[in-house]
Structure 1
Amino acid sequence: MAAKKRQDAKRGGDRLAEYRGKRDRGRTPEPVPDGKALPHGDDDTFVVQEHHATSLHWDLRLERDGVLVSWAVPKGLPWSPETNHLAVHTEDHPLEYAAFEGEIPRGEYGAGKMTIWDRGTYETEKWSEREVKIVIHGSRVSGRYVLFQTRGKNWMIHRMDPPADPEAEPLPDALRPMRPVKKARLPRDQEAWGFEFAWGGRRLLAYVEGGRTRFTDGRGRPVDGPGGLGSRLGGALGSRPAVLDGELAVLENRETYMIFDVAHLDGRPLLDVPYRERRERLDGLELSGPRWQTAPWYPGAGDAVREAAAEQGLPGVVAKRLDSPYEPGGSSDAWRLIPS
């Protein structure tokens, strides 16, 4: 495939004809050059762009003979050799696309937000119609990769080096959520506790990876998430893998996933991390969308939170010790449910 395109280019073929044919330069901010692609680089530039289109994916582009040879990678580049990821071969892009970031308008091909996730240089070890071996040197991803064709436009991408982060751990298959014990009164030493609203919703854990989301219920069983929540929440986290804990509650007549904990983030289990630090990491993710919100928490303010819960008709308050770990599968006195 790649060899044939290079031969076509040498015979005067236009390698960017398909690219131009899919775009209206009067509507899209993408670069749409007039002329044919002409080699004017060193065949060593790569870029990975995060593309929030109909389905979030990452576009890997490699400079080759005057164009960017491109693959759409739905789950991003694999960080470990244990997993291969699908890579769908797409049309060649102009070299100028390596610097492109912007919003492709609705109704246009590839509509959605495009940002540069990583870029740098690469070396070619092999380039044939069915197999491409490269060594990537970027700021977020580096190492030896091979792309190999499986059928038609479908390829796979495999990391040939050891894991980029040897200490990273995959997401667990399932966790049973930590539960509070019921108490009649607020803790006396409120300064040692954080306080959240009890939302009265359905407990859901969200496992987000590669822009996709799966859910388990309060007993750790796989369940379907609300329509549209999984893909949008996955898009909000992008390439950051995480296990989120929350409740699907009805707020203002609309189901909203209220997220109040994070049990795993960026390849690191957080079960032994104190509640205060987990909440700070969760807040740092800035998860706020049309169907999900980061639930508020209030260190040391139990009386005020309980009063506000009663005014809003919420079931109560959940008090959580600031130094408490996350204990999956059981009830712990470090978390307490106090009625409003």
Structure 2
Amino acid sequence: MSDKLERYRKKRDAERTPEPVPEATPSPSDGHAFVIQEHHARSLHWDLRLERDGVLVSWAVPKGLPGDPGTNHLAVHTEDHPMEYLTFHGEIPQGEYGGGTMTIWDTGSYETEKWSDREVKFVLHGERASGRFVLFQTRGKNWMIHRMDPPARDPLPSVEPMLPTERAKPPRDTSAYAFEFAFGGRRLLVPVEGGRTAAAREHPWLRELAASFGSRTAVLDGELATLGGAEILVFYDLLYDDGHSLVAEPYTTRRAALEALGLSGGHWQTAPSWPGEAGPVRRAAREQGLPGVIAKRLTSPYEPGPSKSWLLIPS
């Protein structure tokens, strides 16, 4: 019987990597376990592994599982992995094959609908990943993965930024608003999907931010501002989070979801917000030489274009 782990062993040195490197030839099995690992290696990707005949047949999926049947994702067929990899997570040393951090993104069982050399149809039953998928070979080790059932999430919103209406004085009912600094910078919507963002084409440093999201999909609203002599991307709204559109949700819900992300880095931060604090925030804006403050109605949804729910009040 051929050793299905021969290629796996040749790529790894058991004395240098914490990965399991079993010496024995795997025994046939009829189990149906799967694992998806998030792998921060040279480039972020997800490893899909399906138990088959005593090993984990594996594909590297750069953008993760597709959430919509209208979009197929690349899946690169890699060497079979040992069953012990079902529970493996840790740091593979740099310089070794696959060097980087690996975490378990999801695990569970699956059903096989078809398995051939060029096509695999299966149904995942996991905590985060579920549904019918098909893997099909395109060329060499390159395959594609397609979702066969309906979308598992809301579609990404395609909207224009919400813009404030200028007003000379704060609203009378300040308790109905949150107050934020107006930075006078350039607005920037940042979509993040599969650990990547199209905004990185213009701002390469956003690749680090996108990678930190892993498989979490989001659309962030922010502003490129100059603070302390440095350009900072200040985020103050969240339009989409982890498969759910927040556009119709009130400001308070979107703001809570944004703050829960804990966005803070060398080039970006979450804008501070003070509900009901019109006077102090306006004075602070004046002292810092900022153009003014934005009053945002707590109950307002995200409305593309000019809106009377956001008020720009000069400092």
Please report the TM-score for the alignment, with normalisation by the length of structure 2: 0.91
**RMSD over aligned Cα, in angstroms?**
2.1
Q: Structure 1's 307 and 54: CA in aligned 2 closer, same or farther, altered over 3 A?
A: farther
Cα deviation, 1:249-285, whole Å, max 9, x if unaligned, reads 2334433221111122333332221111110111122
Instruction: Work out whether 1:197 is the aligned partner of 2:181.
Output: yes
> What's the counterpart of residue 104 of structure 1?
92
> What's the counterpart of residue 131 of structure 2?
143
Q: Structure 1's 318 and 111: CA in aligned 2 closer, same or farther, altered over 3 A?
A: farther
Query: Which runs of no fewer than 5 residues in structure 1 stay unpaired?
Result: 1-9, 216-222
Letter in 1 for 2:41: A
> What's the counterpart of residue 237 of structure 1?
213
1:170 to 149, 155, 158: 155
> What's the counterpart of residue 273 of structure 1?
249
- Secondary structure of the 1:63 match is strand
> What's the counterpart of residue 220 of structure 1?
none
> What's the counterpart of residue 313 of structure 1?
289
Cα deviation, 1:188-220, whole Å, max 9, x if unaligned, reads 3221110112222211001111222124xxxxx
Please report the TM-score for the alignment, with normalisation by the length of structure 1: 0.85
Aligned residues of 2:108 and 2:127 also touching (Cα < 8 A): yes
2:7 to 4, 18, 24: 18
Instruction: Work out whether 1:292 is the aligned partner of 2:292.
Output: no
> What's the counterpart of residue 4 of structure 1?
none
Cα deviation, 1:18-73, whole Å, max 9, x if unaligned, reads 3333334444332233x143126433110011122232221100112222111011
Question: For residues 86 and 287 of structure 2, what CA distance do their matches in structure 1 show?
Answer: 54
- Secondary structure of the 1:115 match is strand
Instruction: Work out whether 1:301 is the aligned partner of 2:277.
Output: yes
Q: Structure 1's 145 and 339: CA in aligned 2 closer, same or farther, altered over 3 A?
A: same
Question: For residues 253 and 93 of structure 1, what CA distance do their matches in structure 2 show?
Answer: 50
Question: For residues 66 and 253 of structure 1, what CA distance do their matches in structure 2 show?
Answer: 59
> What's the counterpart of residue 82 of structure 1?
70
> What's the counterpart of residue 5 of structure 1?
none
Question: For residues 150 and 278 of structure 2, what CA distance do their matches in structure 1 show?
Answer: 48
Following superposition, the deviation at residue 141 of structure 1 comes to 1.8
2:81 to 85, 93, 99: 93
Following superposition, the deviation at residue 317 of structure 1 comes to 1.5
Deviates more, 1:287-296 or 1:116-125: 287-296
Aligned residues of 1:72 and 1:88 also touching (Cα < 8 A): yes
Following superposition, the deviation at residue 160 of structure 1 comes to 2.3
Aligned residues of 1:37 and 1:94 also touching (Cα < 8 A): no
1:213 to 197, 201, 210: 197
Q: Structure 1's 180 and 83: CA in aligned 2 closer, same or farther, altered over 3 A?
A: same
> What's the counterpart of residue 326 of structure 1?
302
Query: Which runs of no fewer than 5 residues in structure 2 stay unpaired?
Result: none
Question: For residues 99 and 229 of structure 2, what CA distance do their matches in structure 1 show?
Answer: 31
> What's the counterpart of residue 69 of structure 1?
57
Following superposition, the deviation at residue 308 of structure 1 comes to 2.5
Question: For residues 16 and 291 of structure 1, what CA distance do their matches in structure 2 show?
Answer: 44
- Secondary structure of the 1:233 match is helix
Aligned residues of 2:159 and 2:304 also touching (Cα < 8 A): yes
Aligned residues of 1:196 and 1:317 also touching (Cα < 8 A): yes
Following superposition, the deviation at residue 75 of structure 1 comes to 1.6
> What's the counterpart of residue 7 of structure 1?
none
Aligned residues of 2:26 and 2:82 also touching (Cα < 8 A): no
Q: Structure 1's 118 and 245: CA in aligned 2 closer, same or farther, altered over 3 A?
A: same
Instruction: Work out whether 1:228 is the aligned partner of 2:222.
Output: no
2:236 to 251, 260, 271: 260
Question: For residues 308 and 27 of structure 1, what CA distance do their matches in structure 2 show?
Answer: 55
Deviates more, 1:285-294 or 1:146-155: 285-294
Question: For residues 39 and 191 of structure 1, what CA distance do their matches in structure 2 show?
Answer: 68
Question: For residues 203 and 114 of structure 2, what CA distance do their matches in structure 1 show?
Answer: 45
Question: For residues 57 and 281 of structure 1, what CA distance do their matches in structure 2 show?
Answer: 25
Aligned positions, number:
315
Instruction: Work out whether 1:336 is the aligned partner of 2:311.
Output: yes
Q: Structure 1's 103 and 169: CA in aligned 2 closer, same or farther, altered over 3 A?
A: same
